[in-house]
Structure 1
Amino acid sequence: MATTEINKPNGPVAAALLAGGIGSAVLGLATISVEASAAIKTALNWYNPVGSLMGKSSLGIIAFFLSWVILNTIWKGKETNFSRIAAIALVLVAVGLIFTFPPVWHLLLGGE
């Protein structure tokens, strides 16, 4: 019995992966920006009981969905360099995670 191999383009998967990295990086950058600037902290306070956490997390979610829609539209039905996109996404996720740790804020912002 012969097997049939179905080749599907990896563009939509690459778009979702990279969008996740972008959303993570935006969350990290928003987190460190809130620590660096009282004005940004106030601007991202969208709901008082939660504080700036709602604005930070919402920015990350918005960045994810917007970049996913845009990248999926561009890469739909196309084959991409998946290993390169995965590496970029991994770096973006690392940036996002690093910028959420208080010791990094203190190191970069000269705090305690």
Structure 2
Amino acid sequence: MDENRITFYVNPKGEINTLPADESMHLFEIRANEAEIEQLRGLFRQLHEHNKKEGKDIFSTKSFFYENQGELDRKEDNEIMFEIYRQIFMLGTEKTKEDVEEMGVIPKLNELR
């Protein structure tokens, strides 16, 4: 195994820590190097920014009431979520890989692509 990899814990809020901070939350345990963690953090930032942007559009008649825009927003969210779960799976411990497989999230997100 790569010596530069260390253990991180990813929670559903997108927080990535080196210690399992909140035992009451489901955590994904992964082993990653600094570049891989930065890439994963960037995906979470992208998802959060996209969700903020969607929230600002609520009073915009240009996009909020048009279903096509909603479909585009959901597709973009799905693409980001797919990549987040793909990376968690690829970097995950055996337990994490089992958890992601059991959730059935990757095939479901693949269907929505």
Q: What's the TM-score once normalised by structure 2's chain length?
A: 0.36
Larger radius of gyration: 1
The structure in which a higher percent of residues are strand is 2
Larger RCO (CA under 8 A, 6+ residues apart): 1
The structure in which a higher percent of residues are helix is 1
Q: What's the TM-score once normalised by structure 1's chain length?
A: 0.36
